[in-house]
Amino acid sequence: MRMLQRTIIPKWACQMWNIDTKFSTCSSKKDPQSNVTIVFNKATFDGWVTRSVSEHGIDIVAISQHTKVRLHVEAKGQTSSKRETKRFGKEFTLNQKRDHLGKAFLKCCEWIQQNEAAATALPDDTVDRELINSITTAITRLGIVVFLVDERGAVRTVGYLPS
């Protein structure tokens, strides 16, 4: 039996979309209050949200209503959320963002290898936007979607999910 992997949504995205408030009591995918729907390129993915017991955040898994394909979104944050680090609350450096993006794409490739849909969500800032714009052809060829999320919660996308 294959284990279903979960994706952590960073605290900046949770705050922006009020996920902590909307899903504050969800601890199991069996809870009807945990149901979510993601619509992307006319494909609808149903899934669930659960609150993690650890400090990592909230997880989402979404499954296409039509194709039954799972969509995984690897979300990366804007700042360090670890209070014990020197960089707590400070924006990540270019090198840190490159490292995070590389790890996110590796995770996306693992999901694609399992015939599942893959995406990553990043803050829509100048550095992340430039990193993504420099590799748009590769993103499209790999079948990865990038969600760039601004401080208002608006989302821009790069790439396409395979049909």
Q: What is the mean pLDDT of residues 17-46?
A: 67
Structure-block tokens of residue 117: 């849909």
Task: Give the residue carrying structure tokens 């079948």.
Answer: 143
Q: Which residue has the higher pLDDT, 72 or 163?
A: 72
Give me the mean pLDDT over the 62-88 stretch: 78
Q: Tokens in use for 1? A: 């039996």
60 occurs within a structural domain: yes
Token pair belonging to 95? 């090198």
| Residue 13 phi, psi dihedral angles, 5° rounding | -75, -40
For residue range 83-142, list pLDDT tens digits in order. 787 877 788 899 999 998 999 899 899 889 988 888 888 999 999 999 999 999 999 999
pLDDT of residue 162: 63
pLDDT score, position 64: 74
Please check whether residue 1 lies inside any domain of the structure: no
CATH number for the domain that contains residue 85: 3.40.1350
The share of the chain scoring above pLDDT 70, in percent, equals: 65
Query: What are 33's two structure tokens?
Result: 């209050």
Task: Please check whether residue 142 lies inside any domain of the structure.
Answer: yes
Which residue has 């809870």 as its token pair?
31
Helices (H) and strands (E) in the chain, counts: 5, 8
Domain count for the chain: 1
Expressed as residue numbers, the domain containing 13 is 8-158
